[in-house]
Amino acid sequence: MNKVVWIGLWCCGIVYLCWLAYVRLKRKKYTRFGSGEMFDSMAHYYDGMNRVISLGLDMSWRQYAVRHLVHLPLHSRVLDVAVGTGDLSLCLLRQRPDYQVVGIDPSVEMLQRAKRKLSGCSSSAVVLEKGEAEQLPFADGSFDAVMVAFGVRNFRDRKQGILEMARVLRNDDNLGGCPGKLLIMELTTRTNNDESYHSGRRAVLHRIAQLFIRYVVPCLGLWLTGSRYEYHYLQQSMQSFPDATTFQQFLQTECGLSMVAYERCLWGLGPDIYVLTKKSHHQQLQLGNA
């Protein structure tokens, strides 16, 4: 009798595992990692996991990044691409409540949370819309600044997304010659040529950070949210993203942008911050003739 029970339990276990595999495969079939659908499923625990995996530093990184945009003219219009739950917009509006921020994101659930988070701001200061970076529904040169935090690596078409952000950024000959700015904050890998990460204390810390993202973050995702694959995607998306030097070259040579500032947070263990402007018409002509 015991043998029959064990065989029955074993068969039930096999059926359950097959069903679980089917559900996983079905979800992967219809959900692209990095898509709005994926972030819909993560929205209710997204902020909490950000605090955990960044050791509570992610908001300070955002606050540090937006200081590049606080000196724009009064009532400037700023686009927050991949706005998520609105943390970057919130950091900016705390310092410049006169700005109008337009947030765009492919995830409806993330936008709902951003709406609640930014509800304390003036109703005219925040506009939230569903959309993707590759096809921004705005006119050329309609924003004084464009910003994106931890979103470029999720673009379906990275070059098209950045070209679209540059398109809606105003030209540098407007508003007294104060150039429109593009702010990008992103996690990147380090190059083998970066000697500062191959010796000393920084090399040890960088290795620990790599191991944390590769092994600990997916396990935390599974333990705290039940979603291991989404946080395994974070590690994969970082590995597939170009290193900082290659990304800067890409932005300047293929996207028609000029580098204004580049910074590394937490001695290079945190995200990189890129501040760019559109190349002038004269610079673009020179590039085309080169």
52-75 per-position pLDDT tens digit? 878 888 999 999 999 999 999 999
Classify residue 236 by burial, with Cβ atoms within 10 Å: 0-12, 13-18, 19+: middle
Residue 286 scores a pLDDT above 60: no
Lowest mean pLDDT among 17-31, 79-93, 146-160, 168-182: 17-31
**Residue 41 above 50 pLDDT?**
yes
Beta bridge partners of residue 129, listed in sequence order: 104
Q: What is the pTM of this model?
A: 0.80
pLDDT of 191: 57
% the chain with pLDDT above 70: 66
For the chain, what is the mean pLDDT?
81
Q: Please provide the distance, in angstroms rounded to a whole number, between the alpha carbons at the two ends of the chain.
A: 84
How do residues 240-281 score in pLDDT, each as one tens digit? 889 999 999 999 999 999 999 999 887 666 899 999 999 865
Residue 30 clears pLDDT 50, i.e. is over it: no
Region label for 227, one of left (φ > 0), alpha (ψ between -120 and 50) or beta (otherwise) = beta
Residue range 118-142: mean pLDDT, rounded: 91
pLDDT at residue 133 greater than cutoff 50: yes
Q: Which of 25-34, 35-44, 95-104, 264-273 has the lowest mean pLDDT?
A: 25-34
Q: Given this model, what pLDDT does residue 42 score? A: 81
Q: What is the mean pLDDT of residues 79-100?
A: 96
pLDDT of 2 over the 80 cut: no
pLDDT at 1: 53
Is residue 83 over pLDDT 70?
yes
Q: Considering only CA atoms, which of 147, 125, 165 is closest in space to residue 61?
A: 147
Residue the block writes with tokens 């937006």: 66
Note the pLDDT of residue 195: 54
pLDDT at 172: 65
| Three-class SS state of 149 | strand
For residue 287, is pLDDT > 50? no
C-alpha 13/C-alpha 25 separation (Å) is 18
pLDDT of 56: 86
Per-residue model confidence (pLDDT) at position 99: 96
How confident is residue 224, by pLDDT bands cut at 50, 70 and 90? low
pLDDT tens digit string along 202-223? 667 667 766 666 666 666 666 6
Q: Which domains does the chain have, with CATH numbers?
A: 58-190+241-289 (3.40.50.150)
Q: Do 161 and 133 touch, CB atoms closer than 8 A?
A: yes
- Give CA torsion, residues 109, 64, 94, 238, to 10 deg: -10
